[in-house]
Structure 1
């Protein structure tokens, strides 16, 4: 009996993989993401090796992610107007060309920092359209609507499994054959995701007969997202954790080499520990059967993320730093994925691309601003004090959300009752409303 229960729980944790299209997409993306993380580690190590500058580490991240801040909302309009499948085929192919170009420059020994900065801007521009489209596209791949939250959690699991594997491999390869091979592997890995996209069986795309122009669509998307406090709050949380928290990954090469007295393999261990914690967090979300209680989860995990960052800033011992990275990764990914899940369950289908582009803008667009700011502050006061401040700001930022959580729950209750996104949510809320209603209304 116990084995049957365990099997049922395991099957429930991976239930979105029952959809053929999602299963193919999941496998292709998983392979490609390992290459993506290998490239990210290789670029960070390359830039720090060439320049010894924390500021330029921040500048590379800024160059990679600022296009998402500038172009993200327009990308959402594109995701709602055009065939998302075709958009993803184009963005993945262009990403493969970008990685191949950078690999050639590094392997031939001709790479300079301005090459890296320029190609990061190119990649960031591609990602601005890719991320928003991919977030909205996932919903089309899942056979049952109640499996959407599980698919989002599995996406996070896939992302963080790659984050665990990719940096570990990259750390060894950099020490053995250099950064160029890692970037080349990333370029080749795009073949897997392109093959999976070409293998999907999708319903024919039907373009809307009447469509607003780009500016009207953009304005309507903003009004819809920021006019409803629960959606606005979730996007704001993602923006704050990206602004104050994400810069920690930019400073990890400095901690690995200068504070922990290690090399590229140490950086790989730190990133791998963070990835392991994040993978644990994603699997924690995958086994959940409803979105009820995610508000409290966000309060806890965002506080955990900030506290772990503050503790990490004081650590000079590798094993302790690795443990703290586990908590950092767990807190970060559960907060981000929980916000993603709640947004996906709240938004209307015809505005999904625009809302998820705002999520992507907050997630990827605020990070470069934080990275540049953190890099500049670190040059003046040191990385330890900078990271301490980042952790404190993350922990404090969740207080207003915790204070207003009850009011926000009341606002989303009618949406869950109307849509019945997950059956037990709707029935549970109806039962609760009967208990709280006046005697004559029951």
Structure 2
């Protein structure tokens, strides 16, 4: 459910949402105390990355650390996921903190002393593996927060559920276009991640390049774009290149399809709702310059910051492609793969948790003016319960932000100094939420 800005203003002005949390000054010293351990954990995980649905060693490490802290542990969730449950010393709400554990099929080129040299298997092929999106940092930060919270559970009102999720980037053992199988957040939800115990709010943190280390950014409402894929196979009739009239040319049809796809956004979508992007990333076809091939295949991505625009593109793309193919005496098979909806931060929850972010980042907090172009399957959790997903800067001082290697780059590197801010943010979420839970629920019921 959505909150309008007037309601938020009334809540904040009237004190329905407390302007400042109870003192949690101890959190900073507690995070400082575990910083070295968190850094060491992150380095170890970084040096031993695993692809989606293959995070066996990472999951074992996570489970071992949680058990040592006296936290209830459930393994084998969504194949390789881990759930920890910590009951606080006082009654209160149940919230979830989420971290992803999987790496990417990227060959690391950072030159770090703990750089990955790992290899993995992606859809049957051997590939290099790297934590090129910071999931090593996410896992280490949440483990650090778990240690702080377990040592201070008497200060906690309610229950904390730690979600260590596999396959956020995709499953290395499942074809992206196989829509009969689920992985990542959807699989975690199916396996009861939000129900055992029942979670009423969820929080996540993502480290970001080209953002100063230790700084936090947030955005109410749409925070990250949706992401989906498409695969088109155009089938014609193979013939000699000197006699095209004796065949049906899938290359010409494919060229027109690529151009036609660009009209989806510019001519078929109501851009007053937001933005949309349709990009073709691969085209494969043909074996020789003098042969018109039988088939051409292409794959691409669909992105949007509006659920309505996303749905519009999904509905218009297949008939457009099929129509262009038919006009060229060919046939097109269109496959759509849903990865993640728009990640929506609950506006009221976001406003209520700003004091927690301010404390965690020592005031270095800013609001984004537009959603991140990236995507996250955290969006599925946020469809089930109110969620807040924030961004943590990972680029150290002295580095020009615009020149820092971006997430998914083989040169992407996380500044270790930012990790303790992530630990503090997780802990502050836990301390802050019980103070505002009843007011948020009451306001939500009235909306």
TM-score in terms of structure 2 length: 0.23
Q: Which has the higher contact order (CA 8 A, sep 6+)?
A: 1
Q: Which has the greater radius of gyration?
A: 2
TM-score in terms of structure 1 length: 0.23
